[in-house]
Copies of this chain bind each other. A is one copy, B any other.
Amino acid sequence: MNNLIAVQTILEQYQAVRQLTETICAPLMIEDYVVQPMADVSPPKWHIGHVTWFFETFVLVPHKKGYKVFNEQYPFVFNSYYESAGARILRTNRGNLTRPSVEDIYKYRAYVDEHMKEWLSTTALTEALHDLVTIGLHHEQQHQELLFTDIKYILGTNPLLPKYKDAAPIEQVTSLSNEWLPVEQGNYQIGHQGDGFFYDNEQGVHQVYLHDYQIQDRLVTNGEFIEFVEAGGYQQFQHWLSAGWVWVKENQATQPLYWYKIDGEWHHYKLSGLEKINPYEPVTHVNFYEASAFALWSGKRLPTEFEWEIACRHYAPTIANEANFSDDGHLHPIPQQNGHHQLYGDVWEWTNSSYLPYPYYKKAEGALGEYNGKFMIDQMVLRGGSCATSRNHIRPTYRNFFPTHSNWQFMGFRLAMSL
């Protein structure tokens, strides 16, 4: 756990994280909690039940004496993918369940929170138990990010394009830096070291050799991506990976998700509603194929996750105030401020690295071993956190991962080149 919340007790942390989930959902209408417009999106009410089930199943049931589960049928509904934790509804059926109702799920939250409070207030946690609660909190923070992006998909694919909520105002900019950050060749250390929370997929600290390279000092912008679109980028197979070109054809893709050309001007749907595209903002909601095609078209390439991590450690060892997280209330990437490198926040940055285990990675025993390890195939690594990530959730070694076609997260990219 990084220092922003390390000063809190574990109970304070628990209460802060749990409260934030409810704050995120506050603007929703009951209807918004229920649907699943594509398989990757979960209904908000499922998210808030699932994160609660996580504490009930992995903390309260095994560790709080005399704890009685709230409802015997909820585990079937709220288990996501833990084979060890028993049967569960098909992922694609989440959006068919109207019950438990939102109200009942909030009662479930309150019940579990009450028991967690009692237990955390009266129990001297072993390190293992402390870590378990902490993983539950980070797990919930991940679902908070999914709540933002799933809510965006639910509202942003609705023909009425309803607003989720107003965004914090941003400072207008009219120019951007345009430099490259060089890194010298040599052996570098990768993976999480030192104190603080980290996921098991960052484990396996190891050396990598990097050749001379440089990396953009900011994110690729909407303005730059519009050039690609208007140069016919989506019509020219040359720039695309073979699977990417299949994706373009099958989806008749001609522009990023949520973009609309209205009366000759580019608009996009943001959580604050439909608006004209600001060319200085980082481009987002592009999938790996789109990022890769842009990079090839521009004669550059995407960085590897190792290049990204080392550049980040060197050029942005700590998180600057300019970094744009969910805490900042923009809920959208913002234009570069004061030459800020944008390595943290704004958008998850696609890298050209597959999500694979580090050399010394060991899958944990039991259900928590299913947390990360079993997904280490056919996904690409993204780094740095986004405008929907909590500021205290991110670190330079954090590895996010999604399949190549995913675009509903706040995903963007920066370019790199070998020297």
Contacts and interface: CB of A to CB of B under 8 A. Distances in A.
B99 A162 contact: yes
Interface string A13-52: 0000000000000000111111111000000010000000
Interface string A336-356: 000000000000000011101
User: Which 9 residue pairs are nearest across A and B when measured between Cβ atoms?
Assistant: A354-B354, A37-B96, A31-B98, A30-B30, A242-B374, A209-B209, A83-B237, A32-B98, A34-B34
A245 to B, nearest CB: 7
Given A207-B211, A354-B354, A31 B158 contact: no
Contact of A377 (B45, B77, B404): B404
Contacts of A76: 159
The main secondary structure of chain A at its interface with chain B is: mixed
Given A73-B159, A207-B209, A356-B352, A96 B35 contact: yes
A363 interface: yes
B377 A288 contact: yes
Nearest to A207: B209
A213 B360 CA distance: 10
A97 interface: yes
Interface of A: 29-37, 45, 73, 76-77, 81, 83, 89, 93, 95-102, 154-155, 157-160, 162, 187, 206-209, 211, 213, 237-238, 240-245, 288, 292, 296, 301, 352-354, 356-357, 359-360, 363, 369-370, 374-378, 404, 418
Given A187-B209, A209-B209, A211-B206, A377 B99 contact: no
